A = this chain, B = another copy of it.
Amino acid sequence: MKKSPAPQPVNLLDVARAAGVSRATASLVVRGSPLIAPPTRERVLEAMKQLGYIYNRGAANLRQSRTHTIGLVLSNIANPFFSELTAGVDDVNDANDVVCFIANSVESPERQARQIQRLREHNVDGVIICPAIGSNDTLLEDLQRLSLPYVQVLRHVPYGSGDYVAADYASGIEKAVRHLVETGRQKIMFVGGMSVHSAAVARLDGFHRAMALHQLPDDMVVAGKWGNTYDEVELDRLLLGSNPPDSAICYNDIMALALMSHLQRRGYTLGDDFAVIGMDDLPQAAAAYPPLTTIATNPRMIGQAAATLLQKRLEAPDRPTERIILPANLVIRASSETRTS
């Protein structure tokens, strides 16, 4: 194998000299300026290839206001929902020639603050952030202090302002309730009730609102816990009670899948004895047995929208704040089929 010939870094000036032009000319060529005559451009490009030139954006960044770099700060990377979202962000970044730092706050506001600081020191142009549980005004103050443009996704801090992208949880849940009612269910419970962040509140509120709309009792709520689990004791109490539920809407697909497993272990036939509806429409929802009816929140689309919105904000810092609420549609599958009885 041939040894790499010259670890000596070659810079724009070297390229310029090799091509017999000035450094400024070479600079314009790298950036594809139309001001350069084609033959000159060719000569420079050739020299670049010859010398194995690598554009040093770090140096360019020192002179420019933009680095073509953003940060993505998530509350829990390991959650499949967020990986879909990340993929969406990456899609639009790849198209825009921007590159993305990833950071996992693991629901810790302290770690989150540290990571934001770090990203700022690396001069990211802006961040897309799903605030960790417990984030408050301090987060926004930090961002403001660091003059870091941001877009919140999925959740927003209390009283928070600024750009925001999420799914329409409430109307999704309303659709789910309507579907259950239309297929003969009346005793609907909500599994995964929490109020730890805005998205959780929105879902639970949506449930209460929808049940009220249909004049159904909304008192069957099983508390959710960190890590996408729920209170099993409470669930069993309801299941074995005098007026047990005949269906459930879950905080998300992961809890719904766990619930299905739980119910099947207890002998329920899903879709018949009991209807289960999840939320998010992760790939695994369709692959479950029985396939899971779910409210599609389109994480990938949310990621794309957020990345696009952040770019718009960077191009026009003074544009009015935008709050994008993407529709959440019900995807009907076997887990909520019309009961046979």
Binding site for B on A (CB under 8 A): 4, 7, 52, 54-59, 61-62, 67, 69, 72, 77-80, 82-84, 86-87, 90-91, 94, 97, 99-104, 111, 114-115, 118-123, 144-147, 254, 257-258, 260-261, 264-265, 283-284, 287-291, 300
Contacts and interface: CB of A to CB of B under 8 A. Distances in A.
A145 B4 contact: yes
A110 to B, nearest CB: 11
A52 B142 CA distance: 11
A289 B260 CA distance: 8
B261 A58 contact: no
> Which residue, A101, A102, A258, has most C-beta atoms of chain B within 10 A?
A102
Contacts of A94: 103-104, 111, 114-115
B101 A102 contact: yes
Contacts of A56: 121, 123
Secondary structure class of chain A's binding surface, majority of residues: helix
A11 B78 CA distance: 37
Would you list the 7 A-B pairs with minimal beta carbon distance, nearest first? A261-B289, A83-B83, A102-B102, A80-B80, A264-B289, A90-B104, A78-B87
Nearest to A104: B90
A61 B4 CA distance: 24
Contacts of A62: 58-59, 62
A288 B83 contact: no
Contact of A84 (B58, B78, B123): B78
A122 B99 contact: yes
Contact of A90 (B67, B102, B257): B102
